[in-house]
Amino acid sequence: MIPHPDVFFLPAPGGEQRLCLFHAPRGTPRGRVLYLHPFAEEMNKSRRMAALACRALAEAGHAVLQLDLRGCGDSSADFGDASWADWQADVRLGLAELEARAPGDAPLWLWGLRAGCLLAAADWGRPVNHLFWQPMASGKLALQQFLRLKLAAEMAGGAGKGLMEAMKAELAAGRHVEVAGYRVGAGLAAGLEGARLAPSGTPGRVEWLEVSTREDATLTPASEQAAQAWQDAGWSLRSRIVAGPSFWASAEIELAPALIAATVEALS
């Protein structure tokens, strides 16, 4: 049996803290994995799936670190105070902590879910592999989808005309907007909007996993194009679609066991 994860607060700049969970394998790690959670409420919907996958990976011999980004979960600051640059700094902080807790030459993996994949896709100054769960190819589209949550709510009440343009104007002016209970700042919105799932850094491996309830599901054209760009840049990429629900967006907490099994297999 793998023991319960080590839960701790990692010191961050400005006297802040980041909540972390470290899942240690028995023996020498065969891989080192940093999990980057999705955006806003999708993070909460995905917590159970992430916890089960972390445990499964640890049982398979991987050292896994979960980190709540600035303004998220139980980490310091308010969501509205966080910026994309803050979250990039948190990735560097998490990688350094993972390397300190699991030293050696086992491969480093950045495991992103949805918008977490956009955050992972950067040059981190060291060779890393990527595990993508249901990746979003465009940060601009991700931001639009998020803003539409408020648009849908307002339209249900008979309003909403011109709301999307008004929210974008507020963000462009450096002000906050509130969507589905989340106060979003201009620095976070601009960073997300400019993010793309594009290859960067030293080429390594990419394991691209998606879920679908359709037996004949294939990658969308946008995903196919993004995946091809990684391959063209020299990355070894494998994609696979397994059976499962959209657990990050479901009304109730749902699980996708086939995705966890495919993840362990992909990293093994």
pLDDT at 153: 67
Distance from C-alpha of 28 to C-alpha of 30, rounded to nearest angstrom? 6
Distance CA 37, CA 247 (A): 13
Distance of CA 141 to the CA centre of its chain: 15
- Cα–Cα separations (whole angstroms), residue 244 to 50, 90, 167, 210, 256: 14, 30, 34, 9, 5
Question: First vs last Cα of the chain: how many Å apart?
Answer: 19
- What pLDDT shows up at residue 106? 97
What's residue 162's pLDDT?
A: 81
Whether the predicted model's global pTM rises above the 0.85 cut: yes
For 122, other C-beta atoms within 10 Å of its C-beta total 16
Domain range 6-137+196-267, CATH architecture: 3-Layer(aba) Sandwich (3.40)
Domain boundaries, given as residue ranges, for the chain: 6-137+196-267, 139-195
Which residue stretches of the chain have pLDDT < 50? none
The whole-number pLDDT of residue 3 equals: 74
Token pair in block for residue 181: 């209970």
Q: CB-based contacts of 99: which residues, under 8 Å, 6+ apart?
A: 32, 108
Quickly list DSSP for 138-150. BHHHHHHHHHHHH
